[in-house]
C-alpha cells in the first residue's frame, strides 16, 4: 500500500500511509484507538474506498472497489465480529458463497471433503457439522481463518484476534499462524498486546494520527519504544486549567468491589467533590461497562456503591437519576437522544415529572422556558426549542444530551467519550463546562479513548486493563507513555 | 417556529390523511351529485367507522412504541361474548347493569392486553407473534364460551347504546340528523386518547420509547411499565368495541370483530400518518385515516361500484397513502 489517504467529514483518518508485506511474514500493526488501523484495513478489504494512494499486489497495481475484488486478489479479513452464519455447520460456513455443485444441486459430499482437507492442512480439529454458533469464540475464529484459506487467501488480516481468547486458545492460534506463514501467507496482525507482538511478529508498523510513525524489525524495536511511538509527542489541545480539589473535599462517590462479568472487576475507587477522575484504557478494557454498572444501565453482579457516604442500591437508571447520578453515554445517537423529538422533548425527558401541572398534564410552556434557559447556558446553536434534534450538528446534539442531565442538578456525572465526533470549538466548550461543574462541587468520572483528553482533563487517572485498575496516576505525574504502557500491559 | 420554511411545509407536516381526505371529498361529492355531503350520509359514515376507529386508537399507542397488536379483532369478539354472558347472568337492571357489564368487559380487555405485553416486555419477543397467539386464543375462547352461537341479551338496557341517537331535539330544528350514540363514544375515546398521548408524561414516554427505547430507558423511563400500558390500552379499546357491537346487535357473537376490523384498523393508523417504525403518530391522524377508509367505502357504494372492486380500490389507496407519506418524509428530510 502506497500513500493511502482517507478523510471523513472533519477528520483526516489516513494521511499518506504506506506499508509492505512479504509472503510468509507477520507484520504487527499497532496504534492507539483512532490511529487509523481499522480504516486502513477496511480499505485493503474493499469495505471502504481510499481517497488517494495505490495498492500493489505481487507488484501489480490493483483496484479494490469492493469486498469481492479483495477476495479475488487473495485478501482475507478476520474481523473481531465474525462473518459466519451461526445456524450453519462448520462445512457450510467454510464453503459459503462458493459451494460445490453437481448438476445445479449442492454437492454435500464434495463440500465436506473440501472442508476436511483445509482443516487438516491447517491442523484444526473441529466437528465438521456442528453449527458454528455453538462453537467457542476460538473455534469460530478457526472457521473464519479456514474460510479465508479455502479462498486462496495469501494476505490475511487479523484484527485483535487474541482479544477474546484464553491462553491455551492463543497458543493454538499462534500454531495456526505459524502454519499459514510456512505456507507463504502474509499476515497483518493487529494487536495491542506487546508480549504477543514480540512472539509472533517479524516487523512492527506503528500508526499514529493516520500516519506511519515507524516500521522496524521486531527484534530491533523494544516495547517501550513501540509505546512511545504510539503515543508520540503531540500538540496539546487547549484544555482549561483544572481547579484544584480542596484538601477537605468530601468523597461523593465510592465504588467498592464492583464486578460485572465477564468484563469488569472487581475494582474499587472513589471520587471527591470537585474532582475529575479519568479512566484511560483501550477499547474493550471495560471502561464503559464500569460506568454502565454505576448508572444502573446494566446490573452489577456484586459490589457496593456509596454516595455521600451512604450505601445506595442502583438497579435501574431511574435509581441513579434519583441519587443525582447522570450518565452521558458514548453513543449519543443510539443511547443519548431521541432524534425524531424536539430539543425541548429531549432536554426534559429524564425529569418530566418536574414539568406537570396539578392535573398531571405536561406543561409545555414551563418545558420551553427551562429548555430555552439551557440553550442559553450551554450555547446550543438551534433555531429554537422545537427544532428536531436530528437536524443539529454533533456538537450541539452532545450539548442537548448534557442539558438533559444538567436540568436535574446531577452532582455525579459519568461522561463516556464526552467529545467523540464533535468539532474543536464544541470540545473546548464542553471542557469548560466540565470545569464549571467541578468548581460547583460536582464529581466527574470521565472515560475517554483520547489520551490527551484524559491527561489534560482529569485530576486523577486510572489506567484500566481487562476490567481492573492497572495503575493510578495523578494529573502531574501522568505521561502518555506511562499510561499507555499500563493500559497495554507493556513492560515499560 | 413561524419562519417562512415552516409555514411552507405546514401542510406537509400535518397528517397527510387530512389533505388526501379533503381532495377526495370534493371529487366524490361532485361525482355523486352532492349525495356524499348530505348530513345524513356523513353521519352514517361516522357511525360506520366508529368500531375500526376505536380499535385504531388503541392500536396507535402500540404502533408508536414500534409494536403491533394483532389480537384486537378477536378480543372485541371475546369480550362481547363474555359481557353478554355476564349481563344475562347477573340480577342487575338499567344503568347498573350497563356499567357493571362494561366494567367486566374492560377488565377482561385490560387483562388480555397485559398478557399480550408480558412476553414482549420481559423476554423481548416480537409482538407480531405474541399477539397472533392471543388472536387465536381469544377467538377459540369466544367460540367455547358461546358454543358457537350468538348470545342474545335478555335485557333491553343496552339497546339505546347500540342504535340510539342523541341531541335530536337540538339538531332536528336545524335540519341536522341527531348523533348516534356509538359516535359519541368514539368522540369520547378520541378526546381522552388524544389528551393521554399529547398532554401526559405517559404519552411523551410512548413517543420516546418508539423513537429510541435505549435512550428512554437510560433517561429513567420505566420502559416495561409504559410498554405494558400501551397493550392494556389497546385491549381496553377492543373491549369498548366489543361492548358497542354487543349493544348494536343485542347479542354477544363470536363472529363479530373477526372480519376486516383488524386489518382496516391498522390501515387507519398507518394511513393516518403513524409510523410502523415507531416514534411518530397521532390520534387525530388515526381518526382521519379511519374516516378516509370509511368514506371511500361509502362513496363507492354511492357510485355503485362493485363490492369486489371496492377491495381493490381500498388496497390501492392504502398503498398510495403510505407511499405518499414516505415521499413526504423524504422531501422534508431534504428541505430540513
The sign one gets for the Cα dihedral A367, A368, A369, A374 is positive
pLDDT of residue B191: 97
Domains identified in chain A, total number: 2
Quick check: A15 pLDDT over 60? Answer: yes
Rounded alpha-carbon distances, angstroms, from residue A8 to A210, A331, B13 = 12, 18, 33
Residue A236 lies in a domain: no
Whether the CB-CB separation of B57 and B191 falls below 8 Å is answered with no
- Closest chain A residue by Cα to residue B196: A361
Give the Å distances, CA to CA, from A406 to A306, A344, A444, A448, B272.
21, 14, 13, 20, 37
Task: Search chain B and give the residue with CA nearest A386.
Answer: B1
Q: Domain check: are A294 and A442 in the same one?
A: yes
B112 half-sphere exposure, CB direction, 13 A CA radius: 34
- Alpha-helix runs per DSSP H in A296-393: 317-322, 343-348, 364-377
- In terms of domains, do A30 and A126 share one? yes
Same domain? For A56 and A156 the reply is: yes
Residue A321 lies in a domain: yes
Residues A202, A299, single domain; the answer is no
- Looking at the structure, do residues A305 and A405 belong to the same domain, yes or no? yes
Is residue A413 domain-shared with residue A452, that is, in the same domain?
A: yes
Give yes or no for a contact between A114 and A96, defined as CB atoms under 8 angstroms apart: no
| Span A380-406, pLDDT tens digits | 888 889 999 988 888 889 999 999 999
Alpha-carbon span A176 to A180, nearest angstrom: 6
- Residue A4: pLDDT above 80? no
- Same domain for A154 and A276, yes or no, is no
The most confident of A251-255, A327-331, B107-111, by mean pLDDT: B107-111
Q: Does B201 touch chain A (CB under 8 A)?
A: yes
Q: What is the predicted pLDDT for the residue at A104?
A: 81
A335 and B220 within 8 Å at the Cβ level: the answer is no
CB contact under 8 A, A352 and B207: no
Checking if the pLDDT of A10 tops 60, the result is: no
**A303 assigned to some structural domain:** yes
**pLDDT bucket at A233, cuts 50 / 70 / 90:** low
Average pLDDT over residues B132-138: 95
Residue B333 CB burial class (10 angstroms; 0-12, 13-18, ≥19): exposed
Considering CB atoms only, which of A320, A335, A383 is closest to B215? A335
**DSSP 8-state class, residue A131:** B
Same domain, residue pair A202 and A304: no
Nearest 5°: the CA angle B45, B51, B56 is: 105
**Residue A139 covered by a domain:** yes
Alpha-carbon dihedral of residues B71, B72, B77, B78, nearest 10 degrees?
Answer: 60
Domain that holds residue A294: 251-488
Whether residue A338 and residue B215 make contact (CB cut-off 8 A), yes or no, is: yes
Enter the DSSP assignment of A388.
B
Average pLDDT, chain A: 86
**In terms of C-beta density within 10 A (0-12 exposed, 13-18 middle, 19 or more buried), how is residue A189 classed?**
buried
Residue A262 has a pLDDT of 73
Is pLDDT at A204 greater than 90 in this prediction? yes
Please indicate, yes or no, if residue A239 is contained in any of the structural domains.
Answer: no
Q: Examine the domain organization and report whether A116 and A184 are in the same domain.
A: yes
Q: How does pLDDT run across A459-484, given as a tens digit for each residue?
A: 999 999 888 898 899 988 888 888 88
B208 touches chain A (CB under 8 A): yes
Query: From its phi and psi, is residue A137 left (phi > 0), alpha (psi between -120 and 50) or beta?
Result: alpha
A243: in domain:
no
Give φ, ψ of A451 to 5 degrees: -55, -45
Any idea what the CATH number is for the domain that residue A163 is in? 3.40.50.300
- Cα B63 from chain centre: 12
Domain-embedded: residue A199: yes
A318 → closest Cβ in B3, B203, B222: B222
Query: Distance of CA A69 to CAs A80, A148, B73, Å?
Result: 21, 14, 53
Please tell me whether residues A42 and A142 are part of one structural domain.
yes
Reported as a single tens digit per residue, the pLDDT across A427-463 is 888 899 999 999 999 999 999 888 888 988 999 999 9
What is the ipTM for the molecules in this complex?
0.82
Domain ranges of chain B: 15-23+32-335
Question: In this structure, are A267 and A351 located in the same domain?
Answer: yes
Q: What are phi and psi of B193, to 5 degrees?
A: -65, -40
In a domain, A458, yes or no: yes
pLDDT band for position B6 (cuts 50, 70, 90): very low
Of A33-37, A59-63, A212-216, B208-212, the least confident: A33-37
Q: What is the dihedral of CA A52, A4, A156, A99, to 10 degrees?
A: -10
The answer on A307 and A181 residing in a single domain is no
Residue A326 and residue A418 in contact, taking contact as beta carbons nearer than 8 Å = no
Interface of B with A in 220-259 (CB under 8 A): 220-222
Fold classified for B15-23+32-335: ABC transporter involved in vitamin B12 uptake, BtuC (1.10.3470)
Looking at A231, A265, A298, the residue that finishes a domain is: A231
B217 CA: distance to closest CA in chain A (Å): 7
Question: What CA dihedral angle connects B233, B237, B243 and B247, to 10 degrees?
Answer: 160
Amino acid at each position: 500500500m502506497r500513500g493511502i489517504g482517507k478523510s471523513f467529514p472533519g477528520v483526516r483518518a489516513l494521511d499518506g500511509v504506506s506499508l509492505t508485506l512479504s509472503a510468509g511474514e507477520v507484520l504487527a500493526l499497532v496504534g492507539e484507538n483512532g490511529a487509523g488501523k481499522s480504516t486502513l484495513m477496511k480499505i485493503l478489504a474493499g469495505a471502504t474506498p481510499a481517497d488517494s494512494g495505490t495498492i500493489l499486489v505481487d507488484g501489480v497495481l490493483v483496484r479494490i472497489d469492493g469486498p469481492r475484488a479483495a477476495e479475488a486478489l487473495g485478501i482475507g479479513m478476520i474481523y473481531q465480529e465474525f462473518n459466519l452464519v451461526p445456524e450453519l455447520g462448520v462445512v457450510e460456513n467454510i464453503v459459503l458463497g462458493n459451494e460445490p455443485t453437481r448438476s445445479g444441486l449442492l454437492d454435500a459430499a464434495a463440500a465436506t471433503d473440501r472442508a476436511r482437507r483445509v482443516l487438516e492442512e491447517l491442523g484444526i480439529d473441529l466437528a465438521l457439522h456442528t453449527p458454528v454458533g455453538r462453537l467457542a469464540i476460538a473455534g469460530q475464529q478457526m472457521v473464519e481463518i479456514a474460510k479465508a484459506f479455502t479462498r486462496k487467501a495469501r494476505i490475511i488480516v487479523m484484527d485483535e484476534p487474541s482479544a477474546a481468547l484464553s491462553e491455551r486458545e492463543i497458543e493454538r492460534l499462534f500454531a495456526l499462524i505459524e502454519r499459514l506463514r510456512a505456507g507463504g501467507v502474509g499476515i497483518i496482525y493487529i494487536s495491542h498486546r506487546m508480549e504477543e507482538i514480540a512472539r509472533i511478529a517479524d516487523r512492527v508498523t506503528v500508526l499514529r494520527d493516520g500516519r506511519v510513525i515507524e516500521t522496524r524489525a521486531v527484534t530491533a524495536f523494544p516495547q517501550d519504544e513501540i509505546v512511545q511511538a504510539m503515543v508520540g509527542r503531540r500538540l496539546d489541545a487547549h484544555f482549561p486549567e483544572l481547579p484544584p480539589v480542596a484538601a477537605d473535599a468530601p468523597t461523593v462517590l465510592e465504588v467498592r468491589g464492583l464486578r460485572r462479568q465477564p468484563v469488569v472487576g472487581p475494582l474499587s475507587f472513589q471520587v471527591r467533590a470537585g474532582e475529575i477522575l479519568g479512566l484511560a484504557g483501550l477499547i474493550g478494557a471495560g471502561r464503559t461497562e464500569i460506568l454502565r454498572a454505576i448508572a444502573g444501565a446494566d446490573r452489577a453482579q456484586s459490589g457496593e456503591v456509596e454516595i455521600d457516604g451512604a450505601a445506595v442500591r442502583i438497579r435501574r437508571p431511574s435509581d441513579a437519576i434519583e441519587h443525582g447520578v447522570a450518565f452521558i453515554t458514548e453513543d449519543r445517537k443510539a443511547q443519548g437522544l431521541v432524534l425524531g423529538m424536539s430539543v425541548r422533548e429531549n432536554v426534559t425527558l429524564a425529569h418530566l415529572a418536574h414539568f406537570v401541572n396539578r392535573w398531571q398534564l405536561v406543561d409545555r410552556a414551563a418545558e420551553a422556558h427551562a429548555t430555552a434557559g439551557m440553550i442559553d447556558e450551554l450555547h446550543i446553536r438551534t433555531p429554537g426549542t422545537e427544532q428536531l434534534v436530528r437536524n443539529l450538528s454533533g456538537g450541539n446534539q452532545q450539548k442537548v444530551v448534557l442539558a438533559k442531565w444538567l436540568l436535574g442538578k446531577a452532582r455525579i456525572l459519568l461522561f463516556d467519550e464526552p467529545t467523540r465526533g464533535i468539532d474543536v470549538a464544541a470540545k473546548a466548550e464542553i471542557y469548560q463546562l466540565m470545569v464549571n461543574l467541578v468548581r460547583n462541587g460536582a464529581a466527574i468520572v470521565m472515560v475517554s479513548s483520547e489520551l490527551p483528553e484524559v491527561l489534560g482533563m482529569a485530576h486523577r487517572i486510572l489506567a484500566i486493563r481487562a476490567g481492573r485498575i492497572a495503575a493510578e496516576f495523578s494529573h502531574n505525574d501522568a505521561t502518555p507513555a506511562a499510561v499507555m504502557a499500563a493500559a497495554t500491559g507493556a513492560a515499560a | 417556529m413561524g419562519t417562512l420554511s415552516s409555514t411552507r411545509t405546514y401542510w406537509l407536516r400535518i397528517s397527510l390523511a387530512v389533505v388526501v381526505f379533503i381532495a377526495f371529498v370534493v371529487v366524490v361529492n361532485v361525482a355523486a351529485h352532492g349525495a356524499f355531503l348530505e348530513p345524513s350520509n356523513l353521519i352514517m359514515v361516522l357511525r360506520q367507522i366508529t368500531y375500526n376507529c376505536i380499535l385504531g386508537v388503541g392500536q396507535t399507542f402500540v404502533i408508536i412504541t414500534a409494536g403491533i397488536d394483532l389480537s384486537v379483532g378477536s378480543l372485541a369478539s371475546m369480550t362481547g361474548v363474555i359481557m353478554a354472558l355476564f349481563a344475562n347472568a347477573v340480577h342487575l337492571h338499567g344503568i347498573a347493569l350497563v356499567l357493571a357489564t362494561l366494567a367486566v368487559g374492560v377488565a377482561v380487555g385490560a387483562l388480555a392486553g397485559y398478557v399480550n405485553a408480558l412476553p414482549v416486555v420481559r423476554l423481548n419477543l416480537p409482538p407480531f407473534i405474541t399477539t397472533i397467539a392471543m388472536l387465536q386464543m381469544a377467538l377459540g375462547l369466544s367460540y367455547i364460551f358461546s358454543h358457537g352461537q350468538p348470545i342474545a341479551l335478555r335485557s333491553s338496557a343496552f339497546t339505546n347504546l347500540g342504535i340510539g341517537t342523541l341531541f335530536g331535539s337540538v339538531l332536528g330544528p336545524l335540519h341536522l340528523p341527531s348523533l348516534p350514540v356509538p359516535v359519541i363514544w368514539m368522540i369520547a375515546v378520541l378526546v381522552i386518547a388524544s389528551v393521554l398521548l399529547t398532554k401526559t408524561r405517559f404519552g411523551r414516554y410512548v413517543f420516546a420509547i418508539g423513537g429510541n427505547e435505549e435512550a428512554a430507558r437510560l433517561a429513567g423511563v420505566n420502559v416495561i411499565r409504559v410498554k405494558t400500558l400501551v397493550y392494556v390500552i389497546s385491549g381496553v379499546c377492543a373491549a369498548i368495541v366489543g361492548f358497542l357491537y354487543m349493544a348494536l346487535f343485542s347479542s354477544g357473537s363470536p363472529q363479530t370483530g373477526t372480519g376486516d376490523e383488524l386489518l382496516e384498523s391498522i390501515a387507519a393508523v398507518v394511513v393516518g400518518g403513524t409510523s410502523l417504525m415507531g416514534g411518530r403518530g397521532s390520534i387525530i391522524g388515526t381518526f382521519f385515516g379511519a374516516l378516509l377508509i370509511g368514506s371511500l367505502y361509502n362513496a363507492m357504494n354511492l357510485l355503485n361500484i362493485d363490492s369486489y372492486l371496492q377491495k381493490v380500490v381500498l388496497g390501492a389507496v392504502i398503498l398510495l397513502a403510505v407511499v405518499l407519506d414516505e415521499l413526504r418524509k423524504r422531501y422534508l428530510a431534504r428541505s430540513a
